[in-house]
Amino acid sequence: MSSLVPEDPPLGDARACTALDLIVVARTHDLGGFTVRRALPTAKRRLVGPFIFLDQMGPSRLSPGNGVDVRPHPHIGLSTLTYLFDGEIMHRDSLGVVQAIKPAEVNWMTAGRGIVHSERTPQDIRAAGPRLSGLQAWVALPVQAEETEPGFIHIDAADFPLVADRGARVRLVAGDMLGARGGLATHSPAIFADVELSAGASVPLDATYEERAVYIVSGAVDIAGDVFDEGRLLVFRAGDRITVKAAPAARIAILGGDALEGPRYIWWNFVSSSRGRIEEAKAQWASGRFTMVPGEREFIPLPEKWG
DSSP letter (8 states) at residue 47: -
> What pLDDT score does 32 carry?
62
In order of 2, 46, 89, 131, the CA distances from 55 in angstroms are 11, 14, 15, 17
Q: What is the CA radius of gyration of the chain?
A: 19
Q: How far apart are CA 11 and CA 47, in angstroms?
A: 16
- How many Cβ atoms sit within 10 Å of the Cβ of residue 306? 15
Half-sphere exposure of 19 (CA within 13 A, CB side): 20
Alpha-carbon distance 10 to 159, whole Å?
35
Q: What is the pTM of this model?
A: 0.93
Q: What is the pLDDT along the chain (307 residues), one digit of tens a residue?
A: 444 334 434 444 444 578 899 999 999 987 666 789 999 999 899 999 999 999 999 999 999 999 999 999 999 999 999 999 999 999 999 999 999 999 999 999 999 999 999 999 999 999 999 999 999 999 999 999 999 999 999 999 999 999 999 999 999 999 999 999 999 999 999 999 999 999 999 999 989 999 999 999 999 999 999 999 999 999 999 988 899 999 999 999 999 999 999 999 999 999 999 999 999 999 999 999 999 999 999 999 999 987 6
Spatial separation of the C-alpha atoms in residues 197 and 195, rounded to whole Å: 6
Q: At a CB cut-off of 8 Å and minimum separation 6, what does 113 contact? A: 76, 146, 147, 148, 149, 150
Q: What is the pLDDT of residue 202?
A: 97
Question: 271 and 140 in contact (C-beta within 8 Å)?
Answer: yes
pLDDT for the residue 16: 52
Rounded to the nearest 10 degrees, how much is the dihedral formed by the CA atoms of 165, 166, 168, 174? Answer: -20
- What is the per-residue pLDDT for 240? 86
The helix/strand/coil state of 302 is coil
Q: Using CB atoms within 10 A of its CB, is residue 304 exposed (0-12), middle (13-18) or buried (19+)?
A: exposed
